[in-house]
Chains A and B, each alone.
Chain A
Amino acid sequence: MTPALIDADRSSSRRRLTELRRPPVWVAAVIAVAVAAWVLFLADGTPAGAAVDDPGKFLVTVLDGVTFAGLLFVAASGFTLIFGLMRTVNMAHGSLFLLAAYVAIRVQEAMVGRSRNIDPADVGLLDWLVPLLAGAGVAAVLGLLIQQVFLQWNEGQEMRQTLLTLAITVVLADQMLREFGGLAQRMVWPGAVTHFFSVMGERYAVTRLVMLGIAVLVGVLLWLWLTRTSVGIVIRAGVDDRQMVRGLGINIRRVFALTFLVGSFLAGVGGVLGASFAGAAPGTDGSWLLNALVVVIIGGLGSLKGAAAGSLLYGTVVAFSPAYLPSQYSYYAIIMTFGLLALVLAIRPYGLFGRPA
């Protein structure tokens, strides 16, 4: 903490230099090389086998990691956007994610006209896009409502805001259980994208690439919004210095509201994508809040670049650990996330692109 704080005042290049000398960086580098060597040449007793022996499986695992990272990015981007500007850790992010999923599923069922065994062939593009917008829209409105009612008047009290959103999460989870029941539900991909292609002899689904495509689209639009529009410039200025923005006479309250709306909308988009990819059920809210947290802790809170990098790293670990751990240890794949987290935090306590606020 302290070295980081002091470092922040110095020039960034000098910081990098000093950081490179720190032993954790070397440890991280050694670990990275070792992991790469393991995956490429040594991983014989693993479910996937060494990459040089079975490049198809390796490529598929890479694709799995990248496409899942896309979903992670969409889920985490709204979270990090809200934090970046408002310093609010929106613990209700997962609830908004799940609510959007449920709403979208209901809308899709109404549009297709049946509630179970929906065949992708019966789902047109609109039967997927309209529910997406409806679900994300509901999440956005609810998010805005939460911000207006509970968060606007206590701006700056991060811990209080965090606990408020935490309480909202508890209430929302319980009310969603009451309204939507405990059984798993899912969104159905439109028939237009449920196709397959071959990667070195391994079958691969187009839907996963669609997910990645949407994530890239979200990322590019967010980037354009933040860099090319006047609102975006105000937001970025607000991230750097709220007092100054306020002093310039800009109505930062409106900017806050807009940010929360967009952030919640993104949570909703993530929720609908997630429901199409893996379904929705009670508990999905908690696990996606956690996914978003892991991504932003790795990448650095409040940084869009960080969210992208964090998603990629986390997605890669999630995809590679079950495939490239020795078979008898593949049950521990989920724990490998912790290894990643500890490694990143040992080098950069505020994440890869984070700054000590």
Chain B
Amino acid sequence: MSRLKRRTALALSMTAGLALVAAGCGGGDDESAGLPADQETVAGDGTGSPPAGGDGVRLGILGQCEGPFGGFHEDVVGGATLAMTQFAGATPGSSTTALDGFTGAEVAGTPIELVGIGCGDDTADRILQEVRRLVEQLGANVIIGPLSGDEGIAIAEYAKANPELTVLAGISGSQEQTLQVQAPNYFRFYGDGAIWNAGLGDLLHNQEGWDTVAVIADDYSFGHTSAAGFIADFCAVGGEVTSRVFPPLGTTDYSSYIAQLPNPDEVDGYFWAVGGTGTQASLEAFVNAKGDLTGDQHAGNLFFNPGLAQALGPDIAGAYVGGFATLPGDVQTPEIENYLAAADETWETIPGALSGNEPAPPSVAAAFGFFYGYYTAGVALVEALDAVGGDMSDLDAFHEAISGLTLDLPYGDISLDENRSGVVDVGLSRLVLDESGEVVQETVAIVPGVDQTFGGTFSPDTPSPGRDFPACEERDLPWEGNAIPVVDGVPQS
């Protein structure tokens, strides 16, 4: 017994030793944030205090290197980096990957230093740990990111508790992070998941003559938000949603959920917001039970992107697809060409997700929403710094400058609403077959100036989009009838 005890004693003292060594390491790692914990207790806001902006921008980028969007890590970091090389004179750290960051970025005499890249895994817990590492250990005072919706809510709450921080959201698509959390230092130069489907209802009801629609969406925040945008739009212009089906995330066999949908002769069309393996599995279950896919009876959110859902079969051609910030490659304006060329000049190749994480021209990644969303955040940072003359000492003034920005960007102007969420142009497209029989997207319309509220359907007082919310109600939409048609890649304005 006593021998055993002595052994435990050794183990314990080893633990203590290890703890001390590590404490030393921890202290040595960060020169800037070396505040002993006891001194820091006065802050009392629940988290550490990042150093205020005297010595320039210390930028942290929150990406996702694991989880379902792990393949897009390169893309999102690339987006933020391109903004720095294009507008802040930065040099990329490598010509074949964006993950090596950049050096030498400076705006109006204020340097922008990249202190770290956070690695999320699509969960709020992980991204909170990553942001705390960036802010509390590495001393970041500006964050670009995160990527997904639930992460966005967590980071917005974190920003609210840490007013010294400035967060420019990436492509995080939940409504709540701006509409309900209302952190004054949290900005999103991008649409939310509902906005991306704005205009689709107008198009389907008024142009394609759909009066009734059945909605099937993933039963989680993004599925709900995506469906909510479509429902709000379709109902606002006078359409009717006859059934809503929400299969749980992780469903393997969709047949029982497809059975809950009305038959093709009972409804004018279907709206799909099922992602991951579900996109194809649910469509196949539909074919198995309801009949062949006829493209003109289906519409989907961005999951219907042939780049994301590589297995999307040719039968789906004809379906309408909601937007995702960038336009399909068939639209080429001089601004878009410049932007893509700038990406190609910054790196030789980057291994983005759309090229299967194999080296590819950077414009492949840049032409897609993941990259672009982080790019808009980077541009906003540069322009805001410019607007305050590089002086971040007055954070309120800096935040006010960000709120007042109107960014002139390749895929349309972006400004912020009073909740600091983007008012954006949405591009709607249709799936068509190209000469070689591949399913590709073709732009059909651009809906300008879409905001988060959908004419009042969503407000800070309404609940988050859910299985029953929003209800189907007719109301005035600011953008009804304003869509600019696009023919053969040329906007007809």
Contact = CB atoms under 8 A, between A and B. Distances in A.
Direct contact between the two chains A and B in their complex (CB within 8 A): yes
Contacts of A348: none
Contact of B69 (A120, A182, A196, A284): A182
A320 B290 CA distance: 18
B252 A278 contact: yes
Interface in B207-265: 219, 246-248, 250-257, 259-260
Contacts, number: 140
B255 A281 contact: no
Interface string A108-132: 0000000111111000000000000
Interface stretch (B171-179, B280-288, B415-423): B280-288
B353 A182 contact: yes
Interface size class of chain B, counting residues whose CB lies under 8 Å from the partner chain: 35 or more
A207 B288 contact: yes
Central interface residue in B246, B276, B311, B439, by most chain A CB within 10 Å: B311
B439 A183 contact: no
Contacts of A343: none
Interface in A181-227: 181-186, 188, 196, 202-205, 207-208
B437 A117 contact: yes
A174 B67 CA distance: 9
A117 B246 contact: no
B404 interface: no
A48 B290 CA distance: 15
Interface in B345-370: 353, 356-357
Nearest to B287: A205
A207 B68 CA distance: 28
B219 to A, nearest CB: 7
A278 B66 CA distance: 22
Contact of A184 (B309, B313, B439): B309
B467 interface: yes
A77 B43 CA distance: 58
A60 B290 CA distance: 12
Given A47-B260, A182-B67, A182-B69, A331 B219 contact: yes
A89 B250 CA distance: 23
B455 interface: no
B302 interface: no
A319 B68 contact: no
B288 A183 contact: no
A346 B66 CA distance: 39
B306 A116 contact: yes
A322 B256 contact: yes
Given A117-B438, A182-B71, A287 B310 contact: no
A177 B66 contact: yes
A323 B256 contact: yes
Nearest to A64: B255
A118 B439 CA distance: 10
B281 A279 contact: yes
Interface residues of A, number: 50
Contacts of A48: 259
A68 to B, nearest CB: 5
Contacts of A47: 259-260
A174 B66 CA distance: 8
Given A118-B311, A203-B290, A331-B246, A183 B256 contact: no
A295 to B, nearest CB: 13
Nearest to B246: A331
A87 interface: no
A331 B248 contact: yes
A117 B288 contact: no
A280 interface: yes
A205 B288 contact: yes
B311 A196 contact: no
A346 to B, nearest CB: 25
Central interface residue in A61, A181, A207, by most chain B CB within 10 Å: A181
Contact of A318 (B246, B253, B314): B253
A283 interface: yes
Contacts of B254: 278
B289 A281 contact: no
B70 A182 contact: yes
Contacts of B276: 184, 279, 281, 283
Nearest to A322: B256
A117 B306 contact: yes
A347 interface: no
A185 B260 CA distance: 26
B250 A181 contact: no
B194 to A, nearest CB: 21
Interface string B56-91: 000000000011111110000000000000000000
B260 A116 contact: no
13 contacts: A47-B259, A118-B311, A181-B70, A181-B353, A181-B356, A182-B70, A186-B280, A186-B281, A279-B278, A279-B311, A282-B70, A323-B256, A331-B467
Pairs of residues from A and B, 6 with the lowest C-beta to C-beta distance, nearest first: A279-B277, A205-B288, A322-B256, A184-B277, A47-B260, A116-B310
Interface of B: 66-72, 219, 246-248, 250-257, 259-260, 276-281, 287-291, 306, 308-314, 353, 356-357, 437-439, 467
Given A183-B71, A334-B251, 14 more contacts: A57-B259, A60-B259, A115-B310, A116-B439, A117-B437, A182-B72, A182-B353, A183-B353, A184-B280, A203-B291, A205-B287, A278-B252, A284-B277, A322-B257
Interface of A: 47-48, 57, 60-61, 64, 68, 115-120, 174, 177, 181-186, 188, 196, 202-205, 207-208, 274, 277-284, 287, 291, 318-323, 330-331, 333-334
